[in-house]
Structure 1
Amino acid sequence: MATPRLLLRHPSALLAGYLAATCAVQLNASAVGLVRWSDYSVLAPPMAAALLPVRHTLVVGASTLATSVAIYGFAIPGVSEGGRTVVIAAAFLSLAMSLVVCRVRTGQKARCAFAIPPPGGEKRGRIAPAPRRDTGDLCASLLAGGSPAGRLPQPAAVELSYGRADDGGPQAHWLDAIPLPGARVALVAGSVTEDGEPAPTLMPELRAAVRTLADIDMQPDETLTHLQDVLHRLQPDEAAHDVTASCLYAVYDPVTADCTLASAGHAAPIVISPEGVPIAVDLPSGTPHGRTRAQVATAEIRLGKGSVLLLHTHSAPPTGSGSGSGSGSDGSAVPERRIEPQSSLAATCHTALQVLAAEGGPRQLRVLAARTRTLDTTTVATWDLAADPAAVSAARRHVTAQLTDWGLDDATPTTVLIVSELVTNAIRHAQPPLHLRLIRCDACLTCEVTDGSTTTPHLRRARTLDEGGRGLFIVAQLTCRWGTRHHAHGKTIWAEHTPLHGP
């Protein structure tokens, strides 16, 4: 064991031993006539490149090249000019390749060292952190706070406008618009307080949680119930601070013109009819999320085409306060009698901001105005289906004829296959009544099948000999996205895809 340790401690001795062994092997091979195949040392430089630094790799490669020149140029007689050239060229290429390999390896190590913080808290090799932005300003810019109106989402269901008036304090209120499947849109208003003061650190997390819950596409009251659980996980030490969060969640469907609302401690929105008449929404504010389980109030209203829905910021009342009517004495609700018809949504937002400020509303005022649209028979087609296997062929005929009327012939094969699978699954595994609906909106075609069952389908991969289980897998491969939403009368399975052509 002493000899290897000695060699490792003295690299020059190890190099001398390597060169001596190389010369002995090649000279011995040449003595028995293996001159043409005796340059075994060309593998040493690449091996050194994988283990040693560049300087040591260069020493090994240069020594190997010099040894090859000495042996095949002078020590071994009878080597032809061609053979000598081939052997020496191979040694030279081995040296060049070893340097390239070593350079690539050290470059990768340098990148890793740049990304990983060095020990001792040193800042060498680290990217300088970006300037820290206030979380409230960041979340305000995500919707439209102080930014151009072009950053607002533009769902087909509503036309949106946003207004704000701040005192420069921490941002603890948010307004949001979230597009949903089936051309629907969710409108959200919320605020967070901690010990009676705005809580800007929790606001972006709750806003992100609401957007995540919206993807699950539950009923508004179920969404707010899950938000309560999220708030509890965000504040594990409940005895340290009194955190409350109010939230209003409204879903508008442009096909039926229905708006379903749920509130947990937030004032009800104001509706302005198409004729310009303000209408109060009969929605109790409920109690906000906090240490106790919130009381979520729900309501459903019918909105005509061109109605304006006004959502605004709101300071949550203390936990345990009674539920109000949405226009409580805290000044957080916009008095209906003060809202007058305006020529544009921007003017409506401006008026609402003035009214909120005059009534002593929260210091950071936000107003989101949504003018409703409706989808008619030019963009929506609905059919009632019988719970019979023959209804599948009838559904194919309905879809083919409708897509021809819409000028979407190129989308017919894909859409017919999607509808066939969805209707077949509904007939086999669900219960009547069955309804089929096509929605053409924003260059996207949505297929919806509604049934009376509450069982949620799930995607699985069928085995080779399975007779079924491939329907949803086929739908998932043909569509951009698909999902299920539940309602009072059952469930709806929807699938969206983008037609190749269309008007």
Structure 2
Amino acid sequence: MATIRSLSWRSPLLFGYLAVMTAVQLAESRGGLVRWSDYSVLTPLAAAALVPLKRTIVIGVATLAASVAVYGFAVPGVSDGGRAVVVAAAAVSLGLSPVICRTRLHRRPVACPRAEFCEVEAAADNMSAGLTHRIGADACDTASVPVVRTLGESLPKTSAIELAGYCVSPEGSTGQASWLDAIPLPSARIALVAANATRNDGLAPDCAAELRATVRTLAKLDLQPEELLTHVGNALASRQPAGEVGEEHSGVLFSCLYMVYDPVSGHCTCARAGYPPPALVTPDGAITSLDLPASPPLGLEPVPIEMHDVKLEPGSVLLLHTHAPGPLESPLRVQRLPQESPGVESALEATCYVALEALLSGQRYSEAAVLAARTRTFDCGTVACWDLPSEPATVPQARKLVADKLDSWNMKGVIPTAQLIVSELVANAIRHAGPPIQARLIRTEAALICEVSDGSSTSPHLRRAATFDEDGRGLCIVAHLARHWGTRHGMAGKTVWVEHLITAGEGDCASL
């Protein structure tokens, strides 16, 4: 391949090669055979796969001219049909070769010079180009060029919060042992995670992948933030070799910030272990840091973790971050917000870029990532809540309340299903739990969430009712109608939630 490419770069060698090819065809085709005419087809195609476009066209034209000269005039024994086939094949090969060459060059990534700003994969706009130019200028003398990447494809689309994220890492980096995550939770809530894993044996990235899967699994169990971190800490402490506590640590240290935001109440419950608190940008533009109780990193010995609840105004922005190298000790400090961002899709992305630039200023870190989350709050047009007495007459009352509310939401098609779900949950709360009983409907873009809360901490379980049993079938019916269902425990009592997927004929949620 290198020999053919070097021949194509030099015109004398190129035409010498064509002369040799013509002589071979003349010598072997005097009997009227056209078996050596394959050169006329293969040569332009091979050039299209190896050399630039201009040289491909030159080779194709020269090959066509040689084929016409040989089989059109120099070889008299070739039939008219054979001559037409050979010339036509050479012409088609000449026409295809530029197409193949352009396709190859279009798909091949173009290397970006180190002296210039590096390629921004997700947002080729003025602001991202300026940031990348500054980073690239700082890294010109290093062995790798940092690349700005978006986290948008990995972030969920939810009604509770608006998300944007960016990270910077050198090309060829194996990845840092830290991550940012957003996990959708039942009842339209969402969990935000910022975590870092350190390990002295060089296996921190593998350990971080396992811990991320663990956190996501525990999050699906709908644990409180301090409970989730406690479970992770106990698991890590049990894996700690004997005799390591109090000595130089050689195992895994896990720092994590775990936050759960509820768009119905506007409250965010937070817990952290060895991780700095997030930055908070209020709707009026003030930048502060959340005051959260601190705990040491997980992995040594079990430590008590305290949860903190904070009320967030609609439109507040939480900024979670991670960086490498170096321990995560201080919170993210952003001094200013962007005034104008004409080339960015949203103001949230502009804020995320400013926070990322604050981490990278002064070449403090070679890798960094920022996750920005703007909060939303559901109003009475998407949430309905009722306090119900703990008596049997409450069940028909709950059915009527649900029907009236869904009718006002223009969701008449889902009324029978929602009435059945709520009545079964309310009846179970009255029979097996106790006051206070509360029913709630949450309307999202794709689903209707029915919740019933009570004062008991006992979780309901599915069971198979026998043929002559008078009860035990209600929860099975609810589980059959629901896309998902589960139980969430709070400070006092529990909440049984059911998520019913809205189909095309059941309601109109387009106005959300």
TM-score between both structures, scaled by the size of structure 1: 0.65
Corresponding position of 1:335: 333
1:288 to 267, 289, 297: 297
Q: Please say if residues 209 and 230 of structure 1, whose CA atoms lie closer than 8 Å, have aligned partners that are also in contact.
A: no
Q: Please say if residues 221 and 297 of structure 1, whose CA atoms lie closer than 8 Å, have aligned partners that are also in contact.
A: yes
Q: Secondary structure at the match of 2:206?
A: coil
Given the superposition, is the C-alpha separation of residues 342 and 215 from structure 1 closer, same or farther in structure 2, using an over 3 Å criterion?
A: farther
1:205-242: CA deviation from partner (whole Å, max 9, x where unpaired): 11111110011001010011111234346666885833
**Hey, what's the Cα distance between the residues in 1 that align with 2:336 and 2:199?**
31
Corresponding position of 1:60: none
Q: Please say if residues 220 and 249 of structure 1, whose CA atoms lie closer than 8 Å, have aligned partners that are also in contact.
A: yes
Query: How far off is 1:345 after superposition?
Result: 1.3
Corresponding position of 2:39: none
Corresponding position of 1:478: 481
Q: Which amino acid aligns with 2:267?
A: D
Corresponding position of 2:180: 175
**Hey, what's the Cα distance between the residues in 2 that align with 1:340 and 1:355?**
12
Q: Please say if residues 461 and 470 of structure 1, whose CA atoms lie closer than 8 Å, have aligned partners that are also in contact.
A: yes
Is residue 446 of structure 1 aligned with residue 429 of structure 2?
Answer: no
Given the superposition, is the C-alpha separation of residues 147 and 340 from structure 1 closer, same or farther in structure 2, using an over 3 Å criterion?
A: closer
2:373 to 370, 375, 396: 370
Q: Secondary structure at the match of 1:495?
A: strand
Q: Please say if residues 289 and 331 of structure 2, whose CA atoms lie closer than 8 Å, have aligned partners that are also in contact.
A: no
**Hey, what's the Cα distance between the residues in 1 that align with 2:283 and 2:277?**
19
2:353 to 345, 350, 354: 350
**Hey, what's the Cα distance between the residues in 1 that align with 2:464 and 2:489?**
24
Query: How far off is 1:467 after superposition?
Result: 1.9
1:256-275: CA deviation from partner (whole Å, max 9, x where unpaired): 00000010111101111111
Q: Secondary structure at the match of 2:149?
A: coil
Is residue 159 of structure 1 aligned with residue 162 of structure 2?
Answer: yes
Is residue 241 of structure 1 aligned with residue 250 of structure 2?
Answer: yes
Corresponding position of 2:269: 260
1:72-97: CA deviation from partner (whole Å, max 9, x where unpaired): xxxxxxxxxxxxxxxxxxxxxxxxxx
Corresponding position of 2:387: 384
2:189 to 170, 176, 184: 184
1:436-466: CA deviation from partner (whole Å, max 9, x where unpaired): 0000102100000011111111111111122
Corresponding position of 1:219: 224
Corresponding position of 1:207: 212
1:393 to 391, 396, 402: 396
Q: Which amino acid aligns with 1:424?
A: A
Corresponding position of 1:496: 499
Corresponding position of 1:465: 468
Is residue 406 of structure 1 aligned with residue 409 of structure 2?
Answer: yes
Q: Please say if residues 187 and 251 of structure 1, whose CA atoms lie closer than 8 Å, have aligned partners that are also in contact.
A: yes
Q: Secondary structure at the match of 1:349?
A: helix
Q: Please say if residues 164 and 348 of structure 2, whose CA atoms lie closer than 8 Å, have aligned partners that are also in contact.
A: yes
**Hey, what's the Cα distance between the residues in 2 that align with 1:478 and 1:302?**
34
Q: Secondary structure at the match of 1:482?
A: strand
Q: Please say if residues 384 and 441 of structure 2, whose CA atoms lie closer than 8 Å, have aligned partners that are also in contact.
A: yes
> Structure 1 stretches of 5 or more lacking a match?
1-140, 319-329
Given the superposition, is the C-alpha separation of residues 278 and 197 from structure 1 closer, same or farther in structure 2, using an over 3 Å criterion?
A: farther
Q: Which amino acid aligns with 2:190?
A: V
Given the superposition, is the C-alpha separation of residues 354 and 451 from structure 1 closer, same or farther in structure 2, using an over 3 Å criterion?
A: same
Q: Which amino acid aligns with 1:335?
A: R
RMSD, aligned α-carbons: 2.5
Q: Please say if residues 315 and 376 of structure 2, whose CA atoms lie closer than 8 Å, have aligned partners that are also in contact.
A: yes
**Which region of structure 1 is more displaced relative to structure 2, 331-340 or 395-404?**
331-340
Moved over 6 A (4+): 233-238, 315-318
**Hey, what's the Cα distance between the residues in 1 that align with 2:151 and 2:361?**
26
**Which region of structure 1 is more displaced relative to structure 2, 165-174 or 303-312?**
165-174
> Structure 2 stretches of 5 or more lacking a match?
1-121, 123-147, 342-346
Q: Please say if residues 342 and 348 of structure 1, whose CA atoms lie closer than 8 Å, have aligned partners that are also in contact.
A: no
Alignment of 1:82-231 (within 5 A): 146=149, 149-167=152-170, 168=173, 170-195=175-200, 199-231=204-236
Q: Secondary structure at the match of 1:382?
A: strand
Query: How far off is 1:390 after superposition?
Result: 0.5
Question: Matched residue pairs, number?
Answer: 349
Given the superposition, is the C-alpha separation of residues 197 and 345 from structure 1 closer, same or farther in structure 2, using an over 3 Å criterion?
A: farther
Q: Secondary structure at the match of 2:284?
A: coil
Given the superposition, is the C-alpha separation of residues 363 and 386 from structure 1 closer, same or farther in structure 2, using an over 3 Å criterion?
A: same
Q: Which amino acid aligns with 1:195?
A: N
Q: Please say if residues 384 and 435 of structure 1, whose CA atoms lie closer than 8 Å, have aligned partners that are also in contact.
A: yes
Q: Secondary structure at the match of 1:210?
A: helix
Given the superposition, is the C-alpha separation of residues 258 and 305 from structure 1 closer, same or farther in structure 2, using an over 3 Å criterion?
A: same
**Hey, what's the Cα distance between the residues in 2 that align with 1:491 and 1:442?**
25
Q: Please say if residues 264 and 289 of structure 1, whose CA atoms lie closer than 8 Å, have aligned partners that are also in contact.
A: yes
Corresponding position of 1:114: none
Q: Which amino acid aligns with 2:286?
A: V
Is residue 304 of structure 1 aligned with residue 309 of structure 2?
Answer: no
**Hey, what's the Cα distance between the residues in 1 that align with 2:392 and 2:209?**
49
Q: Please say if residues 193 and 244 of structure 1, whose CA atoms lie closer than 8 Å, have aligned partners that are also in contact.
A: yes
Q: Please say if residues 256 and 274 of structure 2, whose CA atoms lie closer than 8 Å, have aligned partners that are also in contact.
A: yes
TM-score between both structures, scaled by the size of structure 2: 0.64
**Hey, what's the Cα distance between the residues in 2 that align with 1:497 and 1:151?**
25
Q: Please say if residues 177 and 185 of structure 1, whose CA atoms lie closer than 8 Å, have aligned partners that are also in contact.
A: yes
Q: Please say if residues 270 and 280 of structure 1, whose CA atoms lie closer than 8 Å, have aligned partners that are also in contact.
A: yes
Given the superposition, is the C-alpha separation of residues 280 and 315 from structure 1 closer, same or farther in structure 2, using an over 3 Å criterion?
A: same
**Hey, what's the Cα distance between the residues in 1 that align with 2:475 and 2:335?**
52
